[in-house]
Amino acid sequence: MTQIAYLNGRYVPRAQARVRTEDRGYQFGDGVYEVIPVHAGRLIAAERHFDRLGRSLGELRIAWPMKRAALEIIAREVIARNGIQQGGVYIQVTRGVAPRDHKFPQNPVTPGLFVSAKRTRPMPAALLRDGAAIITVPDQRWGRCDIKSLNLLPNVLAKQAAAEQGAHEAWLVDKDGNVTEGSSTSAWIVTAEGVLATRPNGNEILPGVTRAIVVDVVHDLGLKLELRPFSLAEAHRAREAFLTSTNNYVLPITRIDGRPVGDGKPGPTAQRLRAAYLAATDRPPS
């Protein structure tokens, strides 16, 4: 089936979608994006994702490419046109097309908009059974990681390093030895005392939508949670570690830099939170 995308005002076969070379997203990474999960053909946690998109746009002073409600309709239309039941929608907004010059275009230009959708396969059973192995790398990103910008080079290099070492993800470690987050996931531990810890939202991390929903779930379940940075040393001593993201849901981590976490098996807290997170977002266990 031909994949259909939405690009700057038109639904087009995805393979024929073309952007201008002077789109500032292409030349400067001057834009933002969102990935919204789809289950049973429906957007999951759409409000939170569109809120975050609005925030990212606002922080970079890029206008909404159209009214938010219209963009939501386009996202749903792209899902429908591609017959996606299980997957995600990708939304990218750039500052627009203008002659190359670092500063914003003098005369306002129309933001560039691209929307596509893709199917995802269920997570491999072995990954869920055994948990994920991760590596750690220095966090080399800029000072506004809370903006979901197109500038992903440090994240790309971190994920590539993980792949080359047979790991699922790379955790990023700041200059104080604290874990900020993963290259495309939020980072959590369960301490030796059984308390959950994840870094508070701030300029150093992306405010993960999955993370926010899991924080709510943690409160509903009456578990103890500390929103604070944790060090890599503490993660090595932790009872459990796990990551959260749109694509991974809640995924237990069983090895960090080759060393087992806890007893080296997926932890009960992470498994319970995965089930509770899926239930909270109206999805079956998986």
Closest alpha carbon to 34 in 51, 16, 17, 9: 51
Query: What does each C-alpha distance from 52 to 11, 44, 123 come to in angstroms?
Result: 24, 14, 26
Half-sphere exposure of 207 (CA within 13 A, CB side): 16
Active-site position among 148, 159, 224, 265: 148
The answer to whether the CB of 168 falls within 8 A of the CB of 159 is no
Widest Cα–Cα separation across the chain: 60
Beta carbon nearer to ligand PLP, 210 or 254: 210
For the chain, the C-alpha Rg in angstroms (whole number) is 19
Shortest distance in whole angstroms from residue 4 CB to ligand PLP: 23
Which residues lie near ligand PLP (CB under 6 A)?
35, 155, 181, 184-186, 206, 208-211, 244-246
Cβ contact 83:90 at 8 Å: no
- 136 versus 184: smaller Cβ distance to ligand PLP: 184
Q: Please tell me the distance from the alpha carbon of residue 32 to that of residue 54, in angstroms, as a whole number.
A: 10
Q: Exposure string (b/e) for 72-98, b if CB count within 10 Å is 16 or more?
A: bebbbebbebbebeebbbbbbbbbbbb
Beta strands in 86-151 (DSSP E): 87-94, 112-119, 132-138
Residues 6+ away with beta carbon under 8 Å from 77: 6, 11
148 is catalytic: yes
Smaller CB distance to ligand PLP: residue 209 or 261? 209
For residues 150 and 209, the answer to whether their CB atoms sit within 8 Å is no
Question: Which residue, 4 or 53, is less far from ligand PLP as judged by CB?
Answer: 53
Q: Which is nearer to ligand PLP, 53 or 97 (CB)?
A: 53
Residue closer to ligand PLP by CB (options 136, 246) is 246
**Inter-residue contact 164 to 221 (CB < 8 Å):** no
Active-site annotation, residues: 148
